[in-house]
Amino acid sequence: MLNIAITAGGTSEHIDGVRRLTNISTGLLGWYCLETILDYFCAEKRSDFHVTYLFTETAFRKALDKEQLPFVDFVPVTDAESVYHAVDALTKSVPVDFFIHSMAISDFTLAYVASTEELAKEINSLPYSGDAGATVREVLENPENRYSLTEKIPSDHNIILGLRRTQKVIPLIKRNNPNTFLVGFKLLKDVPEEELIRVANQLAGENGCDMVFANELAQLGESNHLGMLIRSGKVVDRPIGKKQIAEAIVREMMKQGGNK
Amino acid sequence: MLNIAITAGGTSEHIDGVRRLTNISTGLLGWYCLETILDYFCAEKRSDFHVTYLFTETAFRKALDKEQLPFVDFVPVTDAESVYHAVDALTKSVPVDFFIHSMAISDFTLAYVASTEELAKEINSLPYSGDAGATVREVLENPENRYSLTEKIPSDHNIILGLRRTQKVIPLIKRNNPNTFLVGFKLLKDVPEEELIRVANQLAGENGCDMVFANELAQLGESNHLGMLIRSGKVVDRPIGKKQIAEAIVREMMKQGGNK
């Protein structure tokens, strides 16, 4: 039995009841990976596989054929923290063979919202100290005067959003399942190809990715989305278009261990 | 000839190449208003009308019938500033008879992104002054040490987002077209009905809304979305469900001046 996991879409961090911190991920690439995997096992006439599909609210989805449904579990997630818990739970309960981690997970979540004016007052009321500024920083990290996160933020003053880093999800995967074949994704902006390859290799090294799809922000269109599939530090494919990227990923992935 | 304008969806403010400040608006209510208007004129066998539909990328849309297309201009917008300019241009060039302003427009846009640590250092390097704190506030509004808005924000430090208020769009409408019949929307959270009515009347008074649909955040589902249609300070209808809300709005609107 092959266990496959896919994450898709972009997370959404709660700011107040109506406002959100989001990103541009559409979830299309993850969806095409799912379709390609279902097609692959259908063509091979195999039913010894199962896919867990973690997706966010805005991620692209469409109806699957009725015969395909039993092979897929759909798991909805919302913000970075919910993805962390879902991936941790999944990788602790299932020996995942292949993990395609295409979700764009927010690096930051909301720590507080404060009125700029009130935050300035709070800092000004600090006792003067000539030291390295730990106190001002403490206020900036965690002010007393802030809006309640359950109210709708009033719109009559300029505001400050304090954001703190979220826990990285990707290191969990190999930590919980060292034998997983892990496909990571790296999106950078305005960097030359060598730098993109260097950063992709770094991601692979730090988080145990067996393969990384690396791409550049200006090259993200559905039909002309292009990037490099990198394995053991080498570019093994340069697919163009999201569907072709998904096919290249699944093809390379299945070369290794598709018969487990 | 009747000129009708509808705004629908939620705006998205750019943070960096991949991150966005958005809101939960789906654009469904605006879309149903469009459908209801097209049905109304079709039933009346009238073709002396035109709709300008301003929508954001995430706003719900579907294909219209071919016969309906000539009656609608679709105008895409992105952030609060783009809506401001689009509404200003429209209301200066066309004598809009009915304006349904259902778009959720961000009250804030990005002023800057800074590392919390660097912002603390910058404040600490200010000369000490016992005054009301204008200087700290100036740094909080406009720090020197900030990330370039064209780069992808690094994820290795906590960050501060400085947000400044956007220009309100709704006052433009009657300023440019005093004879427009203007329908406004008010969404509040956790307030009793009397407070919702009071705030809706205030919105009507300040911006010349002839009618306001007022609703509460916990009551927003598609089929059970409920709220109050308020005209001249009085609740004239309490429709339940987004489609029914759209029908109530268009019905009340057309009672007045539908034969212009």
- Token pair listed for A244: 């072709």
Q: A23 Cβ partners below 8 Å, 6+ apart?
A: A10, A11, A104, A106, B18, B19, B20
Q: What is the CA radius of gyration of chain A?
A: 21
Share of chain A above pLDDT 70, in %: 94
Closest by Cα among B253, B255, A152, B198 to B214? B198
Does the pLDDT of residue A134 top 70, yes or no? no
Sort strands B108-115 and A227-231 into parallel, antiparallel or unpaired. Answer: unpaired
With CB atoms and an 8 Å threshold, state whether B158 touches A155: no
C-alpha to C-alpha distance for B248 and B161, rounded to whole angstroms? 40
Please tell me the distance in Å from A233's CA to the nearest CA on chain B. Answer: 23
Interface ipTM? 0.86
Residue B4 near residue B52, CB atoms below 8 Å: yes
C-alpha to C-alpha distance for B222 and B11, rounded to whole angstroms? 20
CB atoms within 10 A of CB B93: 10
Mean pLDDT within A174-200: 91
Sheet holding A108-115, edge to edge: A108-115, A159-165, B159-165, B108-115
Q: What is the pLDDT of residue B218?
A: 75
B23 → chain A, closest CA residue: A19
Q: What is the pLDDT of residue B117?
A: 93
Chain B residues closer than 8 Å to A155 by CB = 107-108, 165
Share of chain A above pLDDT 90, in %: 75
Q: What is the pLDDT of residue B134?
A: 62
* Domain limits, chain A: 2-106+168-255, 109-165
Mean pLDDT within A212-229: 80
Does the pLDDT of residue A199 top 80, yes or no? yes
With CB atoms and an 8 Å threshold, state whether B217 touches A136: no
Q: How confident is the model at residue A88 (pLDDT cuts 50, 70, 90)?
A: very high
A139 → chain B, closest CA residue: B120
For residue B18, give the nearest of A20, A140, A217 by CB distance.
A217
Residue A166 near residue A80, CB atoms below 8 Å: yes
Q: At what angle do helices B116-124 and A134-141 cross, to 10 degrees?
A: 130
With CB atoms and an 8 Å threshold, state whether B140 touches A124: no
Q: What is the pLDDT of residue B222?
A: 67
CATH topology of domain A2-106+168-255: Rossmann fold (3.40.50)
Chain A residues closer than 8 Å to B25 by CB = 18
Residues of chain B with pLDDT under 50: 259-260
Where does B2-107+167-255 sit in CATH, by number?
Answer: 3.40.50.10300
Does the pLDDT of residue A192 top 90, yes or no? no
Q: B204 Cβ partners below 8 Å, 6+ apart?
A: B184, B210, B211, B212, B230, B233
Chain B residues closer than 8 Å to A140 by CB = 116, 119-120, 123, 160
Please tell me the distance in Å from A168's CA to the nearest CA on chain B. Answer: 10
Chain-centre distance of CA A74, in angstroms?
16
Least confident of A55-59, A125-129, B2-6, B191-195: A125-129
C-alpha to C-alpha distance for B41 and B239, rounded to whole angstroms? 22
Please tell me the distance in Å from A140's CA to the nearest CA on chain B. Answer: 7
DSSP annotation of A218 reads G
With CB atoms and an 8 Å threshold, state whether A140 touches B111: no
